[in-house]
């Protein structure tokens, strides 16, 4: 695709369009084949008494083996049998955030807050690349709490890792958007602005403490504080693609080092105390074209490169594929970072494959091998699993640091009989040969999407977070939406893609899939799968939503995105409706507590909601469940046309809200919020 620059909305359309060929059944088609006859037999289509909320959803047959092996303390229960004990928050939307009664939700750290002694205070009128390198970055996303010291059980003192996914120049820089308009022109972006954006990307490591009063605060100038950025943070490649010919550039002829990471969305953390951060929509950072005859063109088309949302390529050759045609291959990986060593070099783990990474759910299998589950966040993309070759050794942190350099990456095929089959992305096996463009394992990892298509992986509805319940061992996939799904497949005209009981045509609301490894073995070749719930408004039959009948009018949600489990194995789901929230729900994004077991399975309760125009991201807990960290991303931006003067998207001068400072000279600032229970104790108990 030849594009010099595109608008934000055009970029969103590009990044969300389907790039996988329609040569395999979609997940919706598989669900239709599997459940169409079975649901009638077992009667889960429901009666008129429960039709408004869809069927109650029992724990699937054959999926209790992992749960039976889990040693877990009893879950709390309220008078109605819920394991989440709080009064549900009312849905809605306004200029600020809200949390369920009995809890506090305080801003912990904001874009621009100084991290070091010599860092300047945030001044939106005096931004520089140098100051941003010393301040908390923009658009916070995935968070992870890591106790201090390493290996301790403390829940009052630790390090907080935060991803900084992307920047929005029109919201960051005063005067960039002319008065009365809702966007700038690309030519108005200066080199200084570009380098401030680059400095605001990446991630932050911040020391945090809980005071005697129960309040959390970050420690300025901690020896652990660090900014990982796209300006000067050097990283190294490990695994089969390190040093590969397709990773070599003018700046790095060896193909083993790279500056920075891009568009880091969700992630995970390892039992040896490192963070895994996923590079997602890297296509938006590259300009230029690759000649159609160039061998990289097929790979770039599959990753929708270039889709230049950013103007970085005007000033830095490494973001212009005309000047360096292999540059984009160096982004789109899982990055491992050691938060306990400020001098450590982050590592891009090529053994985990290159695609649009949404997360990295880590689990130590019962045989000691490490499993990482990952979603590829684009319409009709896939779910992946990595299994390490080596085994975790609690007594050897140094050896554990190499566990994710070697192993087997597989992609999921969901079959109509309720089984999931993991298809290995291994060079020389099946179609992954030189005849199909895969000369070695490095080629397979760099072009993981193409390899997955050759293997017949199931095309899903934007797979985002994939996490393991620590109590039961069951695996949960957040599928955000896919409104491009057609009622009938052009290549499979005899098969309707969806029906009323399954993921839907024009699926704007998303759903959650549950997987069960046999006998709790996460390295097995086949799992079982079920749908936990189908999101959307159950009161509107056209959505075909499916929640437990106990779900109230405040409990249903749309577009599940990030999720987290607390130490009790309770599921908390964050949503991302984007700029369509007024249509998908009419209310702000937030956090919902979701039951996964028993008679109330499939019931949800609203716990937290974000300000207007914001996205809910990055939920994570302290080990005692006494604090819940939440990232509030791009407040005042998405879907705010009814409240801005321009009648368009939010800008620096005309935002949908000025949260969290609410000062006329301050733009809205993406921030991390910490939720605690009044009087102390676990969240939601």
CB 223 within 8 A of CB 217: no
Nearest to 448 by CA among 20, 15, 29, 28: 20
**CA dihedral sign, ordered 257, 337, 360, 628:** negative
Looking from the CA of 605 toward its CB, the CA atoms found within 13 Å total: 22
Q: Are 629 and 160 in contact (CB under 8 A)?
A: yes
Task: Give me 504's structure tokens.
Answer: 């839907």
Give DSSP secondary structure letters for 467-492.
Answer: EE-TTT--EEEEE--BTT--SEETTE
One DSSP character per residue, 412-477 reads EEE-TTSEEEEEE--TTSTT-SGGGT--SHHHHHHTHHHHHHHHTPPB-B-EEEEEE-TTT--EEE
**170 three-class SS:** helix
Cis peptide before 603 (omega within 30 of 0): no
Place of tokens 């506090």: 104
Give the containing element (helix H, strand E) for 630: strand 627-633
pLDDT at 59: 47
Report d(CA 405, CA 136) in Å as an integer: 30
Where do we find the tokens 């880590």? 362
- Residue 95 CB coordination number (10 Å): 17
What 3-state class would DSSP assign to 75? coil
Q: CB under 8 Å to 503, separation ≥6 — which residues?
A: 27, 28, 31, 461, 479, 485, 511, 531, 534
| pLDDT on residue 4 | 37
**With left for phi above 0 and alpha for psi between -120 and 50, is residue 407 left, alpha or beta?**
left
Sort residue 544 into left (φ over 0), alpha (ψ -120 to 50) or beta.
Answer: left
**How high is the pLDDT of residue 26?**
55
Q: Is 58 exposed, middle or buried (0-12, 13-18, 19+ CB in 10 A)?
A: middle
pLDDT at 62: 42
Residue 506: predicted pLDDT: 83
- pLDDT recorded at residue 123: 98
Q: Identify the bridge partners of residue 410 per DSSP, sorted by sequence position.
A: 385, 424
Instruction: Give the SS3 label for residue 199.
Output: helix
Cα distances from 307 to residues 6, 12, 282, 328, 447, in angstroms, run 7, 9, 9, 11, 18
Q: Which pLDDT does position 44 carry in this prediction? A: 27
Q: Which one, of 199, 97, 220, 204, lies nearest residue 143 by Cα?
A: 204
d(CA 653, CA 67): 52
Residues of the chain with pLDDT under 50: 1-8, 11, 36-71, 493-496, 499-502
Residue with tokens 């083996």: 65
Summarised one tens digit per residue, pLDDT across range 166-194 is 999 999 999 999 988 889 999 999 999 99
Q: What is the CA radius of gyration of the chain?
A: 23
With the C-alpha atoms ordered 175, 112, 128, 343, is the resulting torsion angle positive or negative?
Answer: negative
For residue 570, count other CB atoms closer than 10 A to its CB: 26
* Predicted pLDDT of residue 52: 39
Alpha carbon distance 366, 582 (integer Å): 45
Within 10 Å of residue 490's Cβ, how many Cβ atoms?
A: 7
152-182 burial string, b = 16+ CB within 10 Å, else e?
eeebbebbbbbbbbbbbbbbbbeebbeeeeb
In terms of Cα–Cα distance, which of 646, 138, 665 is closest to 656? 646
User: Residue 17 has what pLDDT?
Assistant: 65
pLDDT at 68: 37
| Inter-residue contact 455 to 447 (CB < 8 Å) | no
Cβ neighbours for 644, distance < 8 A, ≥ 6 positions apart: 182, 650, 651, 654, 655, 656
């Amino acid at each position: 695709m030849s594009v010099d620059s595109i608008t934000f909305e055009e970029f969103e359309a590009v990044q969300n369009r389907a790039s996988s060929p329609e040569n395999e059944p979609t997940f919706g088609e598989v669900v239709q084949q599997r459940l169409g006859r079975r649901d009638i037999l077992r009667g889960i289509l429901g009666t008129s008494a429960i039709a408004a909320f869809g069927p109650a959803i029992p724990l699937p047959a054959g999926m209790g083996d992992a749960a039976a092996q889990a040693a877990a303390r009893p879950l709390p229960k309220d008078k109605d049998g819920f394991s989440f004990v709080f009064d549900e928050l009312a849905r809605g939307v306004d200029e600020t955030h809200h949390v369920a009664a009995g809890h506090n939700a305080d801003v912990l750290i904001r874009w621009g807050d100084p991290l070091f002694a010599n860092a300047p205070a945030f001044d939106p009128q005096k931004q520089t690349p140098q100051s941003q390198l010393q301040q908390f970055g923009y658009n916070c996303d995935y968070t992870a709490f890591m106790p201090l010291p390493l290996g301790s059980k403390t829940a009052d003192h630790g390090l907080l890792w935060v991803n900084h996914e992307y920047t929005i120049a029109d919201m960051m820089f005063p005067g960039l958007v002319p008065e009365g308009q809702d966007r700038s022109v690309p030519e108005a972006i200066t080199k200084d602005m570009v380098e401030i954006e680059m400095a605001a990307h990446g991630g932050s490591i911040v020391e945090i403490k809980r005071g005697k009063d129960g309040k959390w605060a970050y420690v300025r100038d901690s020896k652990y504080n660090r900014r990982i950025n796209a300006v000067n943070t050097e990283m190294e490649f490990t695994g089969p693609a390190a040093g590969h010919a397709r990773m070599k550039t003018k700046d790095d002829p060896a193909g083993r080092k790279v500056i920075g990471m891009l568009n880091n969305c969700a992630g995970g953390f390892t039992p040896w105390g490192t963070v895994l951060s996923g590079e997602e929509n890297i296509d938006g950072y590259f300009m230029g074209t690759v000649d159609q005859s160039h061998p990289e063109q097929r790979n770039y088309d599959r990753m929708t490169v270039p889709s230049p949302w950013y103007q970085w390529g005007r000033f830095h050759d490494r973001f212009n594929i005309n000047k360096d045609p292999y540059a984009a291959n160096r982004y789109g990986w899982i990055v491992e970072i050691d938060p306990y060593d400020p001098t450590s070099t982050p590592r891009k783990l090529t053994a985990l494959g290159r695609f649009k990474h949404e997360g990295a759910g880590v689990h130590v299998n019962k045989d000691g091998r490490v499993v990482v589950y990952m979603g590829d966040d684009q319409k009709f993309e896939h779910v992946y699993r990595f299994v390490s070759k080596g085994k975790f050794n609690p007594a050897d942190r140094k050896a554990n640091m190499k566990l994710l350099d070697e192993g087997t990456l597989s992609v999921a095929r969901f079959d109509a009989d309720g089984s999931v089959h993991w298809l290995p992305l291994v060079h020389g096996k099946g179609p992954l040969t030189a005849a199909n463009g895969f000369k070695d394992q490095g080629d397979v990892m760099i072009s993981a999407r193409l390899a997955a298509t050759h293997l017949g992986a199931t095309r899903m509805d934007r797979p985002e977070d994939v996490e393991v319940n620590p109590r039961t061992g069951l695996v949960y996939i957040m599928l955000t939406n896919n409104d491009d799904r057609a009622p009938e497949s052009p290549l499979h005209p005899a098969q309707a893609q969806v029906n009323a009981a399954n993921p839907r045509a024009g699926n704007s609301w998303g759903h959650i899939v549950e997987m069960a490894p046999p006998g709790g073995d996460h390295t097995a070749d086949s799992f079982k799968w079920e749908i936990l719930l189908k999101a959307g408004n159950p009161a509107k039959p056209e959505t075909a939503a499916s929640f437990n009948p106990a779900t109230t009018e405040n409990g249903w949600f749309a577009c599940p995105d990030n999720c987290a489990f607390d130490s009790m194995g309770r599921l908390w789901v964050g949503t991302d409706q984007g700029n369509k929230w007024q249509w998908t729900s009419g209310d702000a994004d937030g956090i919902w507590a979701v039951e996964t077991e028993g008679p109330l399975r499939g019931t949800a309760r609203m716990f937290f909601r974000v300000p207007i125009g914001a996205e809910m991201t990055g939920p994570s807990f302290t080990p005692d469940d006494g604090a819940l960290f939440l990232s509030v991303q791009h407040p005042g931006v998405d879907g705010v046309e009814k409240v801005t003067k321009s009648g368009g998207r939010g800008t620096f001068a005309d935002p949908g809200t000025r949260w969290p400072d609410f000062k006329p000279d301050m733009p809205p600032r993406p921030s991390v919020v910490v939720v605690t229970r009044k009087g102390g104790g676990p969240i939601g108990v």
